[in-house]
Amino acid sequence: NAGVTQTPKFRVLKTGQSMTLLCAQDMNHEYMYWYRQDPGMGLRLIHYSVGEGTTAKGEVPDGYNVSRLKKQNFLLGLESAAPSQTSVYFCASSQLDLAGVKSGPFFGPGTRLTVL
């Protein structure tokens, strides 16, 4: 049981390049989230998904796109990277039951992205 995994762990991009960050979870969780972490800003929600085939915008969605084609995977795309997107990106997943939060969110190890 690997939990939540993220690939890659590190990446350096040039301005204007594109890339996709992959988040995978093996806990059969319905909910998945992408956050970015910047100094003094805490964790800010970029996009999230409440189930396979659904996505929704978070607090800071501009410049990012996401897809949830399979329940276990949540992809974060940067179409044209900008230096302002230099950050550490965390993925998380959770499962809710009828009584409230059952488990999670559990976080992945993070992806450190630098845009030059």
Partner 1 sequence: ILNVEQSPQSLHVQEGDSTNFTCSFPSSNFYALHWYRWETAKSPEALFVMTLNGDEKKKGRISATLNTKEGYSYLYIKGSQPEDSATYLCALMGNTDKLIFGTGTRLQVFP
Note whether 74 binds partner 1 by CB under 8 A: no
Residues 9-38 that bind partner 1 (CB under 8 A): 31, 33, 35
**Cα gap 46→48, rounded to integer Å:** 7
Note whether 114 binds partner 1 by CB under 8 A: no
Give residue for tokens 């179409």. Answer: 79
Q: How many residues bind partner 1 (CB under 8 A)?
A: 27
For 86, half-sphere exposure in the C-beta direction (CA atoms, 13 angstrom radius) is: 10
Note whether 98 binds partner 1 by CB under 8 A: no
Note whether 109 binds partner 1 by CB under 8 A: yes
Contact present, 59 and 33 (Cβ < 8 Å): no
